[in-house]
Amino acid sequence: MKKIIHSIDDKHKVFYMIYGGKKIGFYLTNKLSKTFFQFLEKGVLVDFEIAPKQKKIGHLKYYQVAHFNQIVSLNPYIVHYDLVKLRSEMREVLTQNVYYLFIDFEMTMPGYHDLDFKPEIIQAGYVLSEAKGQIIHQDGYYVLPKEKRTLTKRTKKFLNLDEEVFFQTAMPYDHFHQKLETIIKTYHPKFVVWGKNDLTALEDSYIIHQAKKLTEDSDFIDLLKLHKDYYNLKDDLGLFKAYKTYYQVDYEQSHDAIDDALVTKYVFDAFLDYM
C-alpha cells in the first residue's frame, strides 16, 4: 500500500490514512516503532505491506504494518528509508572484498549449577574463499580451554564429545591465534559469521588468553542480520533452515564448527545469487 499519512497517534504508535472515503488506522510493532516511527507524520508518503493481523486499541481495530518499503517526506523532499536501495547497498557490501573467511566456533557450556561462567572456544572451523569462488583453504580442530582439564556434561552432550579424545587432540589456543593471524596478514579477508555469538566468543578469547587482538567489529559481516533486514524477518532464522530454503535439501546438523563454516559459505553464495 502506498499512501500519504493523514494523521498520527504518538501514544499508541498508530498512523491513519484515508482509504475509500474512510479513516483507517495502522499500528507498528515495538521493533518497527523504534526504528521508523520518528519519520512518520502528517503528509509523509509511506509504502508498506500489511500483516494478516489486527489489534484492538480502545474500541477500534487497527491493521499491523508488516514492513515498510519506503518512507518519504515530500516537503522538503527527504527519503528516510528505501528498501530497494538498502538491498542494493547490501549486495555492494557483500561483493566489495576479494577474500572472505567463513568462521564458526563451538564453545564450552556452563554446568547446571554454574553462576559465574564465560564461554570459551573449544573448536574452530573456517573456510577461506573468494565470493562465490572455490575454497582456498579450510580447517577445523579442537582448541584447549584455558587451565581447564575437564568439560561440563552439558558441553560433552551437546557437542557429542569424547573428553579423552578431545584433550588428546586439541591444539593450544596459541596455535589457533597464530594461524588466524597468518590468514589475516596474507589475505586480509572479510569475516562472515551467522549471528553475533562467534564474534563475541573471539573477542572474549583475546582477553581470556591474554592474546593480541586481531580483529575489529568492522571486520565482520553478520549474515543472519543481513537476512533479517533483506527479507524483513521478525524472528531469527536458523543457519540450516536458511540452507534448506535455498537448496531445497536438508543438511544434517552435527554441531561441528567446520560443517557450520561450510554451510555459512553455501548460504552466503546462495544469498548473492538471490540478490
Percent of the chain with pLDDT over 70: 99
pLDDT greater than 80 at residue 147:
no
- Superfamily of chain region 97-274: Ribonuclease H-like superfamily/Ribonuclease H (3.30.420.10)
Assign a CATH topology to domain 2-82: OB fold (Dihydrolipoamide Acetyltransferase, E2P) (2.40.50)
- Residue 200's φ and ψ, nearest 5 degrees, are -65, -40
Can you give the pLDDT at residue 114?
67
| pLDDT tens-digit readout, 69-97 | 999 999 899 999 999 999 988 888 888 89
Q: Which pLDDT belongs to residue 159? A: 87
| C-alpha to C-alpha distance for 114 and 167, rounded to whole angstroms | 22
Could you tell me where in the chain the CATH 2.40.50 domains are found?
2-82
How far, in Å, CA of 87 to CA of 95, rounded?
Answer: 13
- Cβ contact 143:260 at 8 Å: no
> Is 107 a residue whose pLDDT tops 80?
yes
Q: pLDDT of 201-243, one tens digit each? A: 999 999 999 999 999 999 999 999 999 989 988 888 999 999 9
Mean pLDDT (whole number) for 133-155: 89
Our measurement of the distance from residue 108's CA atom to the centroid of its chain's CA atoms, rounded to an integer in Å, reads 21
Q: For residues 247-273, give the mean pLDDT.
A: 90
Strand order, beta sheet including 99-107: 135-142, 121-130, 99-107, 190-193, 220-222
Bridge partner residues of 102 (DSSP) = 127, 192
SS3 for 126?
Answer: strand
- Tell which wins on pLDDT, 133 or 211: 211
Average pLDDT of span 124-133: 91
Question: How far apart are the C-alpha atoms of 72 and 76, rounded to whole Å?
Answer: 9
Q: Where are the CATH 3.30.420.10 domain residues in the chain?
A: 97-274
Q: pLDDT (tens digit, 9 = 90+) per residue, 186-205? A: 999 999 999 999 999 999 99
pLDDT confidence of residue 202: 96
CA gyration radius, the chain: 23
- How sure is the predictor about 255, in pLDDT bands with cuts at 50, 70 and 90? confident
